Structure 1
Amino acid sequence: MNIGIIGTGNMGRILIDSFIEAQAVEPANITIINRTFAKAYHLKQKYPSIHIASSIQEVIERSDLVLISVKPHEIYPILQENKDAFTPKQCLLSITSPISTTLLSSVVPCGVARIIPSITNRALSGISLCTFACTKEWEEKLLLLFQHISHTVHIEENVTRVASDIVSCGPAFFSYLLRRFIDAAVAETLITEEQATELASGMLIGMGKLIEKQVFTLDTLQEKVCVKGGITGEGIAVMEAELGDMFAHVFQKTHSKYHEDIKTIHKQFKSY
């Protein structure tokens, strides 16, 4: 399968590296284009057999699957300008949450899908969120492709944002919390930042493996560590008192921005 990738920014680069490392795609079967040529050229230096296209139309014409990895507001102009280059046998794949498969289908004459990845896919791990509006054959091809780098989960449109918050935004949210955890340890005790970072990172990796191997659930993890009347319980009591509705507010804020983005996107697609 020949894959064309429009946009080689952070997530486009992560997907290319992951697919190649997982041996899901040969570099020679990938055609790329990026508004900033240097980013595409850096990939060409790493993978010499990757083809850099001179136009988006060339990417489409050389590809069976066209993956678009640009900012949400840039997708409609690209598709509108190049829609005639698509054929019914192809599939268009978007990785952005505000644009539904219904909107994509309204512009291009081929099958479409939306698969929202996570930075954790770079470790050939984590989850990717799937919504399909294509043939069963294309659905199976896409699942096979992304199962090389992730665990695929089908989602409905009405949970797209919260699912993306957990899977795609989650690593940034919890990296921030871990950073604050480390900073507080350094500020309040004699531990160095280097040692606190090593210990906290190792703790997080170990906890992930316990969950992955189903040794403990999240609830039983807390129960096993939090001995009644012990030190962990004192820390949990502080967190219960001070966290409050913080995470509720996080979801409220992300959903508010999501709905703003959807309004902007629908104005672009309104002619369809």
Structure 2
Amino acid sequence: MKVGFIGTGSMGSLLIEAFMTSGALLPAEVTVSNRTFSKAQTFAERYPGIKAEFYNADTAQASDIVFICVKPHEFIHVVKDIRPVMTPDKIVVSITSPVLVSHLEGELNCKIAKIIPSITNLVWSGSALCIYGDTMEDRDKKRLEALFDHISEPLRIEESYTRIVSDLSSCGPAFMAFLLEQFVNAAVEETGIPRESAQQVASNMLLGTALLLTEGRMTPAEVQERVAVPGGITAKALKLLERKSSGMFQDLIATTHAKYREDLIKVSTSFYGEEVNGQ
């Protein structure tokens, strides 16, 4: 299997590194191109056997599966680059939520998928959100999911839920890290505990909580119930959190969805030349 990556930014780099370190792919199976060629060369030097290409079309032509890992507004340019070399047996995978499967199906003569990764995939954890076009056969889906199974739990979703599931899976680590940072900052400011100690304890706590919710099969409500003794310290603090955070996550979701709609309009305009509705 030959796999190409167009774009070596934050998420493109993450996928290449995760697939390399997990053994999902061998360097000789990978071709990389980037707008700045030296960045593609960096991966070829780091993982001998990876081939760095100057042109996106060369990466696409050499690959059975092509991951497009660029910003939404750059997609149309990459699509134009690779269109002449795409064939019905190849698979193009977008990792960008505002780029719809229909955008790519209308432009490329190949199979189309959209897979949204997470930073947690770098440590072979978390989910990979899988959305498939009409021409993707069952064997194609299994092929992609077998690849992502090395670094994540592949989860098939409807494209209409892309944004909200991305909030939980892909944006969620940043949101949870922000809240943890605020917790640690408050601990340091209020008590003088060394930041490194507070950070270590809080990080271990978050890891343990995640294991309770996954391997321990506890719900968030059950974790709270087990920790909070009625009338105790945790119970009183939880009431404070409930009061202070009321409406906060609704506003957060409204913000991410508004930005998604803005990006979707821009992407659709770049593909079709006019605003269109989409999921």
Question: Which bracket does the TM-score occupy, shorter chain normalised?
Answer: over 0.9
2:161 match: 159
Tell me which amino acid in the other structure corresponds to 2:127.
I
Give the equivalent residue in structure 2 for 1:88.
88
Match of 1:220 in 2: 222
Per the alignment, residue 200 of structure 2 pairs with 198
Distance 1:84 1:37, change over 3 A: closer
1:169 maps onto 2:209 in alignment: no
In structure 1, the partner of 2:248 is 246
Q: Which amino acid aligns with 1:243?
A: S
Correspondence 1:248-267 to 2 at 5 A:
248-267=250-269
C-alpha separation in 1, matches of 2:120 and 2:58: 31
Match of 2:37 in 1: 37
Pairwise CA distance, 1:138: 1.3
Tell me the distance in 1 between the aligned counterparts of 2:76 and 2:176.
32
Moved more, 174-183 or 209-218: 209-218
Deviation of 1:61 (Å)? 1.0
What's the CA shift for 1:258? 0.5
Residues 1:108 and 1:215: Cα distance change in structure 2 (over 3 Å): closer
Shift of 1:210: 1.6
Q: Give the residue type in structure 2 aligned to 1:172.
A: A
- DSSP 3-state at the match of 2:129: strand
Residue by residue over 1:113-164, the C-alpha shift from the partner in whole angstroms, topping out at 9 and shown as x without a partner, is 0000000001111001010112222111111111111101111122110110
Between 1:111-120 and 1:27-36, the stretch displaced more is 27-36
Q: Which amino acid aligns with 1:50?
A: I
The one-letter amino acid of 1:207's match is T
Fraction of identical pairs, as percent: 40
Partner residue in 2 for 1:183: 185
Which residue does the alignment assign to 1:147?
A: 149
Q: Deviations over 1:154-176 (max 9, x none)?
A: 11122110110110000001100
How far apart, CA to CA, are the structure 2 residues paired with 1:146 and 1:51?
21
Letter in 1 for 2:175: F
The CA deviation at 1:109 is 0.2
1:80 is displaced (CA, Å) by 2.1
The separation in 1 between residues aligned to 2:150 and 2:111, in whole angstroms, is 22
The alpha-carbon deviation at position 241 of structure 1 amounts to: 1.3
2:39 partner SS:
helix
Q: 1:145/1:54 Cα in 2 relative to 1: closer, same or farther (>3 Å)?
A: same
Paired with 2:79 and 2:215, the residues of 1 have a C-alpha distance of 43
1:72-87 residue pairs with structure 2 within 5 A? 72-87=72-87
> 1:100 maps to which residue?
100
Corresponding residue of 1:127: 127
AA partner of residue 220 (structure 2): L
Structure 1 residue identity aligned to 2:226: K
Report matched runs for 1:31-70 at 5 Å: 31-70=31-70
- Counting matched residue pairs gives 272
1:229 aligned counterpart, secondary structure:
coil
- In the alignment, the residues of structure 2 paired with residue 91 and residue 157 of structure 1 have an alpha-carbon distance, to the nearest angstrom, of 18
Alpha-carbon distance in 1 for matches of 2:217, 2:172: 22
Q: TM-score, normalized by length of structure 1?
A: 0.97
Gaps of 5+ in 2: 275-279
1:112 and 2:112 aligned: yes
Q: Would you say the 8 A contact 2:68–2:93 is kept in 1? A: yes
Task: Tell me how far apart the structure 1 counterparts of residues 93 and 192 of structure 2 sit (CA, whole Å).
Answer: 51
- Deviation sequence 1:227-255 (CA, Å, 0-9, x none): 00111012111111111111100000000
Quote the Cα distance in structure 1 between the aligned partners of 2:234 and 2:222.
Answer: 14
Larger mean CA deviation between 27-36 and 110-119 belongs to: 27-36
Which stretch has the larger CA shift, 73-82 or 241-250?
A: 73-82
Distance in 2 (CA, whole Å) between partners of 1:104 and 1:165 is 23
For 1:99, give the aligned amino acid: V
**Quick check: 2:40–2:53 contact (8 Å CA) kept in 1?**
no
